Amino acid sequence: MMARSESYPPTLSRRIAGWARFLAALVPALLLSAQLLARPAHAEDGWRFQVTPYAWAPSLSGSIRPRPFLPTASFDRRFSDILENLDGAFFVNGTARYDRFVIFGDFTWSAVTEQDRIALPFAPFGFDVHGQVRQLSATLAGGYSVVDRPEFTLDLLAGARLWHIDANVNIRGTGLAASKSDTWADPVLAARARWQFAPDWSVIALADVGGFGVGSEVTWQAVGTLNYRINDRVFLSAGYRHMALDYDRGGMKLDVDMSGPLAGVTFRF
């Protein structure tokens, strides 16, 4: 995720390998959906659960500086650029409900390795930079359904988002190299709404904001999906997600925006 003034042409093999890793994340969901399609619906009494493994294809923009003595590197990447250098990714979320009480969780993990060329302030020419960034975020929140009707629900939640960022930068030919790992937790406030506007169709909107200077300066996200019911146990979803992080602590500085479409399969039990 480093800035560059000239680009290196992607190879076909890297594109194919990136897409293979990306699509492989959907295979367990498709196999599980085939097993659940024939099962009867669950009863509405007691605890109700749903799990959604999903694929997210974000573009990234922002800046990163692992250590104070390194220059801040800006980046602006389309998803196709990221996919060429993707080492791995995994995304899943879920909810648990009992009466009007609700627990929400979301987990994201990705790793990207890039080699780019940047111009440093003290040199008129470019340097090759090898960088790797791994990010993990896990959100857990609990709350209450202030509106709970068959066609519409509104949940208000509070919780925390755990972050782990591992960044490595090596500016070849200068002797400048550094690695930095930070782990922190941000308080988060969230709202989640679901509207069923047709027998088999619904929309879900989720928004949260957190940080407040406790861990990061601010973190927030907004998600919207259109959902189709195959049966009472399996749903298909497609939508869009934007996630932002502004963090400056312990020598590491991150200012990242991630936006892009998503698609997933929801299992209820």
Cβ-Cβ contacts under 8 Å for 138 (sequence gap 6 or more): 105, 106, 107, 108, 161, 162
How big is the chain by its Cα radius of gyration, in Å? Answer: 21
The β-bridge partners of 223 are 206, 241
Q: What is the mean pLDDT of residues 4-22?
A: 51
Query: What is the rounded distance in angstroms from the CA atom of residue 167 to the CA atom of residue 122?
Result: 23
Confidence of residue 163 (pLDDT cuts 50, 70, 90): very high
Q: Which residue has the higher pLDDT, 78 or 30?
A: 78
> Could you say which DSSP state residue 15 is in?
H
Q: Are 50 and 32 in contact (CB under 8 A)?
A: no
pLDDT at 8 over 80: no
pLDDT at 93: 94
Query: What is the rounded distance in angstroms from the CA atom of residue 148 to the CA atom of residue 188?
Result: 22
β-bridge pairing 234-249 and 218-229: antiparallel
**Which amino acid is present at 101?**
F
Which region among 32-36, 94-98, 239-243 has the lowest average model confidence (pLDDT)?
32-36
Which secondary structure element, helix H or strand E, spans residue 167, and what is its range? strand 152-171
The β-bridge partners of 246 are 218, 255
Query: What is the rounded distance in angstroms from the CA atom of residue 165 to the CA atom of residue 167?
Result: 6
Q: What percent of the chain has pLDDT over 90?
A: 45
pLDDT at 120: 44
Q: Are 89 and 110 in contact (CB under 8 A)?
A: yes
Which region among 4-8, 75-79, 128-132 has the lowest average model confidence (pLDDT)?
4-8
Query: What is the rounded distance in angstroms from the CA atom of residue 153 to the CA atom of residue 66?
Result: 42
pLDDT at 124: 40
pLDDT digits (tens, 9 = 90+) for 192-220: 999 999 999 999 999 999 999 999 999 99
Tokens 């972050």, located at residue: 163
pLDDT digits (tens, 9 = 90+) for 32-75: 544 544 444 444 568 999 999 998 888 878 777 766 666 666 66
Confidence of residue 29 (pLDDT cuts 50, 70, 90): low
pTM metric for this prediction:
0.74
Closest CA to 256 of 215, 221, 228, 224: 221
Q: What is the mean pLDDT of residues 145-166?
A: 93
Closest CA to 176 of 219, 231, 131, 212: 131
pLDDT at 63: 76
Q: Which two tokens stand for residue 199?
A: 């027998």
pLDDT at 122: 41
β-bridge pairing 86-98 and 152-171: unpaired
What mean pLDDT value characterizes the chain? 78
CB atoms within 10 A of CB 35: 11
pLDDT at 68: 66
